[in-house]
Structure 1
Amino acid sequence: MPHSIRVRDLYEALQERLQLEWLAGHSGADSTILSSSSDAGTGIIAGPLNYIHPNRVQVIGPAEERYLNSLYSPNRQQALQQLFAERPALVMLVDRVEGLPELAAMADEAGVALMRSPLGDSQVLDNLQYYASLFLSEKTTLHGVFLEVLGMGVLLTGDPAVGKSELALDLITRGSRLVADDAPEFTRIAPDIVSGTCPPILREFLEVRGLGILNIRQMFGDSSIKRTKYLRLIVHLKRMSADQISGMDRLSGAHAIRDVLGVQIPQVTVPVAPGRNLAVLVESAVRNHLLRLKGYDATEVLIERQQQAILDQS
Structure 2
Amino acid sequence: RLRLRLLAGKKGLGNIIFDADLEKSDPIIAGPLNYIHPSPVQIIGPKEKKYLTGLNTEDQKAALQRLFAAEPAAIILSNRLKSLKTLDTLSDKHCVPLLASSLKDAQVLDNLQYYAARFFARKTNLHGVFLEVLGMGVLLTGHSAVGKSELALELIIRGHRLIADDVTEFRRIAPDIVSGSCPPLLREFLEVRGLGILNIPAMFGDSATKRSKYLHLIVHLRRMKLQEIADMERLRGAGRYRNVLGVDIPEITVPVAPGRNLAILVETAVRNHILKLKGYDAAELFIERQQQAIEENST
> Normalising to structure 2: TM-score of the pair?
0.90
Aligned to 1:273: 257
RMSD, matched Cα: 2.2
Aligned to 1:256: 240
- Residue 95 in structure 1 maps to residue 86 in structure 2: no
Larger deviation, residues 262-271 vs 302-311: 302-311
| SS of corresponding position for 2:17 | strand
1:308, distance to aligned residue in structure 2 (A): 4.1
Aligned to 1:51: 35
Supply the distance in 1 between the matched residues of 2:196 and 2:240 (Cα, whole angstroms). Answer: 33
1:296 equivalent among 269, 280, 297: 280
1:211 equivalent among 173, 195, 198: 195
Supply the distance in 2 between the matched residues of 1:301 and 1:66 (Cα, whole angstroms). Answer: 62
Supply the distance in 1 between the matched residues of 2:61 and 2:72 (Cα, whole angstroms). Answer: 17
Equivalenced residues, count: 298
Supply the distance in 1 between the matched residues of 2:288 and 2:222 (Cα, whole angstroms). Answer: 31
1:279, distance to aligned residue in structure 2 (A): 0.5
| SS of corresponding position for 1:200 | coil
1:305, distance to aligned residue in structure 2 (A): 3.6
Supply the distance in 2 between the matched residues of 1:265 and 1:49 (Cα, whole angstroms). Answer: 40
TM-aligned CA distance change 1:313 to 1:59, over 3 Å: closer
Aligned to 1:240: 224
- Residue 23 in structure 1 maps to residue 11 in structure 2: no
Supply the distance in 2 between the matched residues of 1:304 and 1:70 (Cα, whole angstroms). Answer: 70
1:240-266 deviation per Cα after TM superposition (whole angstroms, max 9, x unaligned): 122322222223221111111111111
1:295, distance to aligned residue in structure 2 (A): 2.8
Aligned to 2:131: 147
| SS of corresponding position for 1:172 | helix
Code of the residue aligned with 1:199 in structure 2: it is: P
Supply the distance in 1 between the matched residues of 2:201 and 2:73 (Cα, whole angstroms). Answer: 35
TM-aligned CA distance change 1:72 to 1:210, over 3 Å: same
Aligned to 1:138: 122
1:159 equivalent among 143, 151, 154: 143
Supply the distance in 2 between the matched residues of 1:207 and 1:22 (Cα, whole angstroms). Answer: 43
> Normalising to structure 1: TM-score of the pair?
0.86
Code of the residue aligned with 1:83 in structure 2: it is: L
1:269, distance to aligned residue in structure 2 (A): 0.3
1:143, distance to aligned residue in structure 2 (A): 1.1
Gap runs ≥5 in structure 1? 1-15
Supply the distance in 2 between the matched residues of 1:159 and 1:116 (Cα, whole angstroms). Answer: 52
| SS of corresponding position for 1:170 | helix
Aligned to 1:186: 170
1:280, distance to aligned residue in structure 2 (A): 0.4
TM-aligned CA distance change 1:91 to 1:170, over 3 Å: same
Aligned to 2:50: 66
Supply the distance in 2 between the matched residues of 1:177 and 1:245 (Cα, whole angstroms). Answer: 29
Code of the residue aligned with 2:64 in structure 1: it is: L
1:37 equivalent among 21, 35, 57: 21
Aligned to 1:116: 100
Gap runs ≥5 in structure 2? none
**Identity between Structure 1 and Structure 2 (%):** 63
Supply the distance in 2 between the matched residues of 1:215 and 1:247 (Cα, whole angstroms). Answer: 40
TM-aligned CA distance change 1:48 to 1:310, over 3 Å: closer
| SS of corresponding position for 2:110 | helix
Code of the residue aligned with 2:71 in structure 1: it is: R
Aligned to 1:284: 268
Supply the distance in 2 between the matched residues of 1:226 and 1:205 (Cα, whole angstroms). Answer: 12
Supply the distance in 1 between the matched residues of 2:66 and 2:290 (Cα, whole angstroms). Answer: 79
Code of the residue aligned with 1:221 in structure 2: it is: G
Supply the distance in 1 between the matched residues of 2:200 and 2:71 (Cα, whole angstroms). Answer: 43
| SS of corresponding position for 1:169 | helix
Supply the distance in 2 between the matched residues of 1:51 and 1:309 (Cα, whole angstroms). Answer: 71
